[in-house]
Structure 1
């Protein structure tokens, strides 16, 4: 059964994301001293005593202003309340009650959700009690003084919160597949997420940079659970100033690192840019499975050859991920969106795949019989003794040879192609480690294997 949800509500810049971080015990939401940094609703798992639940951060609520993203933020907050078992209304103990707080309190009284008032920025216990007393006028019950930064007072708040959650149910463990949706700004990542879930889960806007946090959404299909992670658009480093966008891009890179599969979204109108090429290299470097999503395909004038010309051009320019599956979609119309998860399943399965040593050596034997290792001018020839798979996510194979320096890059690529042709590994990078007989070669390769699998072990 799903975990109960607790919605975090409040004005801009009262410290909602800081409190979310404290309750969830992580530092993943963007915390920056600027109103409106959090726009979409962002889910994070939390627990207290023997209970698990989800906290959902929402954008700052302002009711008397309909400019920019504020109407969309209100819609996100209302959606969060609709699915929540309880809400925590965050107010600022340093400023005291404001007209905005009173407006939100009146709005919350109209919602069918129990509400707790948390008075944030009460770093001093003695002064915190006095600060909290001012918020009785909101008419929402006892205000609890807390400090999102230091954690003081959150225990009492959570004790009261547990009384509002539904009775504990046995949770069904699911082997979820983590899917990061990544790409440049404004290529349609949030639109794709909304097309998956059938609702405005993330704010969609033609303005670049709408999504700033990495946003998790759970989707179930055919008995499988997918954690979809929408990420901030990743621009060129030189174009990014320190602040919310800087933090959002760092979250996007972390989302790629913790994903099983990356949906790499490209704009069919713009084609492949230099930044897309760098992102492809990042995905391969992190060892993540990948599906190339060519979005806005409905906006392209086509004939019988168009799709083939596009695919050839994209694969030639994104050679880092030439092993990835490719699909042409329209997130706006929903065209082929339902087929994406089938490709995700393939990529995730191959990413976790393990092949026996005997099968690996059969492939090697066949490959060597067709194309023997090169011989140097001095008469030294490379020899491959045997191979074995040493890890998964991504699949990594160690090849034991007489001297790694005797194998050219071309021959190494040939061996990788033979593995892919014989064994598949569709949609996932494949690591080959060439281990020499010398002890220092063995030690050096072992360190390389450890670095390549570090993401998995985390």
Structure 2
């Protein structure tokens, strides 16, 4: 296992800025408002001699009556328990605070390497004033400016010295990446907590509690998964706050990183225009999709309720007619296990590769049974097909008129491939190409032209 490093400290001391600095690019949302990061945010750092897992945490307030701050404190405590090394960050501009002293007192009971870091030290004056932090009774203090990369290299050199040698970890191709997306307050974080079996995410009735996309690596039935919880995606007109716009962009990036996306719908509210827009992002990204209808326990049901709701989903998401639907309750745990079973089925199709002989047999049967419409008064000829990629299954079809294939005929071929090869839960991409102009030999499995 790679060593785990947790960054903890009061709100707004620069934890996320250091997280992004060590990662090498912007991942955690950074803003001058306190409490921007609310969950534990994980990243694997591979830029240094020894790879490690870095955890960014929400602000740690030792004493607070605010429920959200209490949950953030709980998340920070869990991160400290999980970590092998702890970076305790303080703020030179604010000076030593009673909250810093209380956190430092707690850390004295932790039997792990702890690095005491004073951030925002941008000049000699603040460097000298930082001496007051030695009153905590510590032997070594690192003064840095995470924003300007001052002192960060020295901190990293000392940090790497305490790491044990890391193993290779889990290969990327053995991990299924699952993104959880949806409108604000449809129960995404509660669903993540239920899937993991513990309070991984801050779940709060206030819409927009999750702002960063948060990664959690876990194992289920001896299979490895990376679960990505994302911020709620609002309509563009409603994303007025700068922070919320960052969150939406981060959620869209998380879709791009995923193999399978769980699109969470609210059973009480039904399918909305924004749900359709979010699912459209998933479809355009070419990711496997599972519709998760949450809060199913809140509806009064009769024998027709399920069928009626399935029809609503299919009508609202016509372009995702292939995506399976799971009805669950994150609150009660109803049918939660069905989600992972469905994810495995979709992932199996997502990475499936068809033999060239089987592909061209089905392709020939399809084009013989239903000829493509004439294009510009000319007959469309097809030569052969080959699968060029998985994630999602992608096929190149060679033809004499690659730019003239009508979308309805393309849809017909996609449906034939779905039916023949079991691709009933994932998108399929078809790419039409012309033959080589140099007269290259025809593929041995190509159909002979009929006169």
How many angstroms apart in 1 are the aligned matches of 2:136 and 2:187? 41
Aligned: 1:183 with 2:182:
yes
Q: Structure 1's 47 and 130: CA in aligned 2 closer, same or farther, altered over 3 A?
A: farther
- Secondary structure of the structure 2 residue equivalent to 1:156: helix
The answer to whether 1:59 aligns with 2:58 is yes
1:172–1:98 Cα change, 3 Å: closer
Q: Helix, strand or coil for the counterpart of 1:134?
A: helix
Q: Please tell me whether the aligned partners of residues 6 and 55 of structure 1 are also in contact (alpha carbons under 8 angstroms).
A: yes
Match of 1:313 in 2: 312
The alignment status of 1:409 with 2:407, answered yes or no, reads: yes
CA contact (8 A) 2:2 2:169 kept: no
Deviation at 1:131, TM superposition (A): 3.7
**Unaligned residue ranges in structure 1 (runs of 5+):** 440-458
Give, in whole Å, the separation in 2 of the partners of 1:106 and 1:379: 83
Question: Which secondary structure does the structure 2 equivalent of 1:233 belong to?
Answer: coil
Which residue number corresponds to residue 384 of structure 1? 382
For the 8 Å contact 2:7–2:87, the answer to whether it is kept is: yes
2-structure distance, mates of 1:402, 1:336: 50
Alignment correspondent of 2:393: 395
Q: How is 1:50-449 mapped onto 2 (pairs within 5 angstroms)?
A: 50-124=49-123, 126-127=124-125, 129-165=127-163, 167-174=164-171, 175-375=174-374, 380-404=378-402, 406-436=404-434
Task: Write out per-residue CA displacement over residues 216-263 of structure 1, whole angstroms, 9 at most, x where no aligned residue.
Answer: 001112322100000000000110024221111111000000111111
Tell me if the contact between 2:2 and 2:167 (Cα under 8 Å) persists in the aligned partners.
no
Task: Name the CA shift for 1:365/1:13 in 2 (closer, same or farther; >3 Å).
Answer: same
- Structure 1 CA distance for aligned equivalents of residues 400 and 168 of structure 2: 52
**CA-atom RMSD in angstroms:** 2.0
In the alignment, what sits opposite 1:454?
A: none
User: What is residue 453 of structure 1 aligned with on the other side?
Assistant: none
Deviates more, 1:429-438 or 1:211-220: 429-438
Residue 172 of structure 1 deviates from its aligned partner by 4.0
Does the C-alpha gap of structure 1 residues 417 and 47 become closer, same or farther in structure 2, counting only changes over 3 Å? closer
Deviation, structure 1 residue 100: 2.2
Residues 264-319 of structure 1 show CA distances to partners (whole Å, capped at 9, x for unaligned) of: 11111111100011111111111111111111111122222221221121012111
Secondary structure (helix, strand or coil) at the match of 1:324 reads coil
Q: Secondary structure, in 3 states, of the residue corresponding to 1:69?
A: helix
**Whole-Å Cα distance in 1 between the matches of residues 297 and 360 of structure 2?**
46
2:35 aligned partner: 36
CA deviations on 1:84-131 (whole Å, 9 max, x unpaired) are 11211111122321222222222322444432111111233x445424
CA distance in 2, matches of 1:287, 1:300: 32
- Consecutive unaligned residues of structure 2, counting only runs of 5 or more, are 438-451
Alpha-carbon distance, 1:406 to partner: 5.0
Give the deviation of 1:372 after TM superposition.
2.3
Contact kept? 1:357, 1:388, Cα under 8 Å: yes
C-alpha contact 2:23 2:47 (8 A) present in aligned 1: no
Deviations 1:320-356 (A, max 9, x none): 2211121111111111212212222222232222223
Deviation larger for 341-350 or 191-200: 341-350
Q: Deviations over 1:174-229 (max 9, x none)?
A: 32111111111111110111011111110001110000000000111232210000
1:456 aligns to what?
Answer: none
Aligned residues of 1:11 and 1:61 also touching (Cα < 8 A):
yes
Question: What SS does structure 1 have at the residue aligned with 2:179?
Answer: strand
Q: Distance in 2 between matches of 1:197 and 1:214?
A: 16
CA separation in 1, counterparts of 2:411 and 2:47?
51
Structure 2 distance, partners of 1:179, 1:242, is 27
Secondary structure (helix, strand or coil) at the match of 2:51 reads strand
Residues 50 and 166, structure 2, Cα contact 8 Å, conserved in 1:
no
Q: Tell me how far apart the structure 2 counterparts of residues 320 and 279 of structure 1 sit (CA, whole Å).
A: 12
CA distance in 2, matches of 1:222, 1:130: 55
Preserved CA contact (<8 Å) 2:386 2:397: yes
